[in-house]
Every structure is written in C-alpha cells, then in structure tokens.
Chain A
Amino acid sequence: MKMTRGERIFSVFNIIFMCVLNFIMLAPMLYVLTLSIMPEHIISQHNHELLLPIPKYITLESYRYIFAGNSQLIHAYSVTAFLVIVGTAINIVFTMLMAYPLSKTDLKGRTAVMLYVFITMLIGGGLIPTYLVVKATGLIDSLWALIIPNLISPWYMIIMRNFFAALPQELLEAAMMDGAGEFTILWRIVVPLSIPVIATMSLFYGVGYWNNFFGVLIYINSPSKWTLQPFLRQVLIEASPRLLQESGALQEMLKAPPPMEQVKMATIMAATVPILVIYPFVQKYFVKGVMIGSVKG
C-alpha cells in the first residue's frame, strides 16, 4: 500500500520516538553497568558523565569482591533460588489444580467458587490482619511465609482457567472415552498443550519471588534467611563494603576493599542480570499466554 506524505512523516517521527524510548529504557541500566566496571578515578575524571564504559579501563574488581569466598551475596542467591524453584513449582501446581475444574463450564458450583475468589479480589484484609493470620499459622521467620500465603494468585488462576477453557475440548473428551481419569488428562493432555500459559505464569510467580522485598522485611527476622532484595537494599544504604564478606574470609581483600560505590553498582547488576538472562527465553511465550488467557470469560 502506498503511503501518503503525511503518513510517511508520521512514520519517521514514530521511529525516532521509539529510538528515544529505547534509549530511555536502557540508559539507567547502562549507566549503572558502567559505574560497576569503571575505576573510581576515571568516573570522577569524567564528572560522572560516563554512560558507556571505556574498554581499556574496565575492571572486574568489585565483582570479584562480592562473589569471593564466604560471600553473603552467594548465600542470598541460594535462598532466593530455593524460593524461585520450589515456590514457583508449588504455585503452578495449585493454580492448575484450581483452574482446571473451573475451566469446565458445566461443572456444578463453578459460579459459586468463582464468586468466592472474586470477592477476595475486590477486598482484602490489609497489612495487619494478614500479618496476624501468617503469625497464627506459625510461619513467621520461615521461608514458607513467602510461599503459602500467596499460594494461588486469583488473577493468574483466572488467566490459566481461560486458557484451559480455550483448549480443544474434543481432545479431552476423547481421552475420557479411553478411560483416562481427570488427573491423567490434566497431566498428559492439558499440561503439554498449555506450555505458553504455564511458562508465563511461572515467569510471573518466579519474578515475584526474585523481587520480593516487603514480604521478607516483615515475615523474616533472621538475616541468614534473607533473599536478594533485602540484601541489596542493605548494601545500598551501607557505607562500607565490609558487610558483604564474613569476617575471616579473604583477609587480603578485606584490607583493601574496592570503593563502596562500585560494590553497590556491582550488587545491583548481580541482582538484575539473572532476570535479563531468563527474560528473552520466556518472553516469546508470554504475549501468547496472556492474550489467550485474558479473553473475557
């Protein structure tokens, strides 16, 4: 189709605008990356105006420091990894178990259960009553306090239910004819057909654990159970890099730790990069997963 003059001008401006937008989205991240790998004197020489690193000065000293020896960062990583893997798996299983029966339009009582869920989406108890329930169920200072109280997200459950309802029902019925039970059908037929929505929901739940800051702040008391975000927050408000290393570890490094600014920037990157790495792989699924699931049903 031929474009008119006006359309061509619009198109050019649109592309320029998008380039500016991409730059705005990337700039803060690039800047912090640069600060984490440039020596302090180079940064001050350039009056903090370095957006891109100068290759010949690149140093990984701060990264070596935060990962070395008995590193608190690695400890926080492992706690977070436990939550992301175990927590997400549990969330997905229970979300599916709820979404699957509710995807059957002829199931008696379905409307009542949906109403039961819907009410909780409209109104919640708020911070203190929720805290008291978590406390009463004995979860304070346990990592389960970050998993069980958020077992099923109503939103994600509904998206999953809609996705299941949009699957070709003849397939499920044919399996039932062959004598397969509902659990078999769910596991053998529904799950393999629902990879886009399962991948998307896993990403959402997983990122939720990765990014959880407030939950850890209120429910977890022992610093040994801290995940990445509270740890990062502590590093950001700390003045000295010593907190990152247990005493006794790597004495020679402790005598001359890298500048705190650099260590902070490296810790930010360390908390960001795993998401940047996983993101492109899941990204191709989530538009599809969310779109099919969010068709109003």
Chain B
Amino acid sequence: MNLPPNIPLAVPVKRSAESVAEAPRTFRQEFRKRRLLYLMLIPAIIYFFIYRYLPLFGVLVAFTDYDIIGGVFKSPWVGLKYFRMLFADPYFWRVLRNTLIISIYKLVWGFPAPIILALLFNELRSQNFKRVTQSLSYLPNFLSWVILYGLFYQFLYRSGLVNNVIIKPLLGHPIDFFGDSRYFRSLLVITDVWKNVGWGTIIYLAALAGINPELYEAASIDGAGKWKQALHITLPGIRSVISITLILSMGGILRAGFEQVLLMQNPLVFDVGDIIDTFTYRVGLVDQNYSYSAAVGLFQSVTGMLLVLGVNRVTKQMGQEGIW
C-alpha cells in the first residue's frame, strides 16, 4: 500500500491540517496518481519489447535457413549449420583478427588519452582559455564519420596538406593512408582518437570536480607537491570512473567502429581493414544471406556481453567498483 507523501516542512501549517482531514480521499487520490505514473511507462515498455527484445528473439534466424518470403516461422531449422560454417571460414578468422587488432589499438591509445587530457585541463589556470580549449576538443564528437571521412581524405591523401608539408620532406615520398595496408589501421586509430578524445574528458572532469578541495589543501600543508597530489589524491579520486569506463569499453571490443571503417575502407585495404561489422553488413544486407550474417552478429554480441560481465566480476574481486 502506498502511504500519503510526507508533508514537507515548507508547506504552511493550515494546508497540512486540511490534508490530514481529507486523509481517506488522499489515499484514493494517491493510488490514482500512481496509476498515471504507470500509464506513462506503457509506451516505453511496448517500445522496448518490439524494437529491443524482438530482435533478441530474432537471433533465432541464425539457427534456420532463412526463407525471405515465408519469414522466420516458415524457415527450416538447421541448428548450428551456420556457426560451423562460420568457424570453418578462414575469412571470418581474418576479420575477427582485424577487429581485435583495431579495437585493442584504439583502446591502448584512446582510453588513457581523455584521462590525461582531463588532468591537463584541470591544471589550466585561465578559465577563458580552458573553456575555449575544451569546447574545441568536444566539437569533433558532433561531426559525422561521413564529414570526417571527407575532411581527413582531403587532409591526408597522397597530395594533401599533411603529405606535402610534413611527410614528403621527412621521408622523401608520400604515404597513402587510405590505400596502403601498412598505414590503414593507424589512420583508423588516429582519426578515432581525434574524434573522441575531447568528449571523453567530460566524465573525468565531472569526477575531478567531485574531489574534496580540502584534501589538496591538507596535502600541500603536509608538503606534498603537485605530482604527489596528482598521484595520491587525483588518481584515487577518479579511479572508480576509470574502472567503470574500462568495463563498458570491453563490451565494444568486437566493434571496431562500424561507420568509420565502412566509409574509409576500400578493397586495397580489406586485408587489414575489414572488420566483423562490415563483414556482417556485406554478407547480410548486400548478399542477403540473413542466417549467416545473423550468426556472425550473435557471436559478436554474446562475446561482448560475456566480456562485460567477466571484466565486471574481476574488477569487483579486485575491490573496485563495478557497473552494478
């Protein structure tokens, strides 16, 4: 049973006397009001069911020979046929390897970068300079990969600015970032860090703002320099945010940046740059092999989930805060 809400102190005495007098009706009203709250949830529950749970059941497609005309229910059950096909396909192992390499590189460079940048932002004294710098660094997050592909293609292609001004004078020859397998992954990692580093600082800046300033005062009275303060106050202060961000990024380890790769890749660099997502897309929507593609997708999302759950568990065992 729901109790009537506690009467806040700010409410004048007269009114609270009234509501005590009307207690039985307030009771019914309360129930009616709660009903409205449940009513508000109904569209959301329906939405989540249709567009977020039905696709989960839809992974069953991966265990059938999908019949494009008849739909899921008319498709014959084939069990693990597509998974066997998948694990026997050398091309799948190649895209899996590419995906892992690209996302691990992105993690190695892209994970610490916003932490370091947030710490540096925090040390800037001029508030105006700080604001401008922060705003500029958030901006790329809001540009689409299509725009960024256009920008970076122009900037980095064989006779673009970077090659003409920096690379040719240094190496004596241009680097074809978009068409040379040796540099394509670096291109993906660099542009990804460029897009995300600034935006990534926000969550750490929020955590930094929550550290009690008295801790710094006490430390400096005790003679701790800036470096010691950073090591013993700042880092422990943001440790839980760091571990949560790391756990969450584990879920994306088999997603190496779909739109980015789809837009930047070309047959010249498929050997190093084709990833699970682009493979799923080509097999599924271009070749219309729904079952095979769904099998790849299922493998990907289950692995992602297991990684999140596993890392979360390990983190908690190490005494850190997990995601729940």
Contact = CB atoms under 8 A, between A and B. Distances in A.
Interface of A: 4, 6-7, 10-11, 14-15, 17-18, 21-22, 24-29, 31-32, 35, 47-49, 51, 94, 97-98, 100-102, 104, 106-109, 113, 116-118, 120, 122-134, 136-137, 148-152, 157, 170, 173-174, 176-177, 181-183, 186, 207, 210-214, 218, 229-230, 232-233, 236, 264-265, 267-268, 271-272, 275-276, 279-280, 283, 287, 290-291, 294
A229 B259 CA distance: 12
Contact of B10 (A15, A24, A170, A230): A170
A98 B40 contact: yes
Given A126-B280, A174-B8, A21 B133 contact: yes
Question: Could you tell me the dominant secondary structure of chain B's interface residues?
Answer: helix
A14 B120 contact: yes
A173 B5 contact: yes
Contacts of B40: 97-98, 100-101, 182-183, 186
Nearest to A34: B161
Nearest to B41: A101
A279 B58 contact: no
Contacts of B50: 133, 137
Nearest to B58: A129
Closest 10 CB pairs of A and B: A125-B55, A126-B297, A129-B58, A211-B144, A98-B44, A129-B55, A101-B37, A170-B8, A120-B52, A182-B36
B52 A6 contact: no
Given A31-B154, A126-B280, A152 B165 contact: no
Contacts of A22: 132-133, 136-137
Contact of A126 (B45, B55, B146, B202): B55
B93 to A, nearest CB: 19
Contact of A129 (B159, B262, B297): B297
Contacts of A174: 8, 10-11
Given A28-B154, A128-B284, 20 more contacts: A10-B123, A11-B123, A101-B41, A107-B37, A120-B48, A122-B251, A125-B52, A126-B55, A128-B293, A129-B55, A129-B61, A133-B55, A182-B36, A214-B259, A230-B146, A271-B144, A276-B139, A279-B135, A279-B142, A287-B205
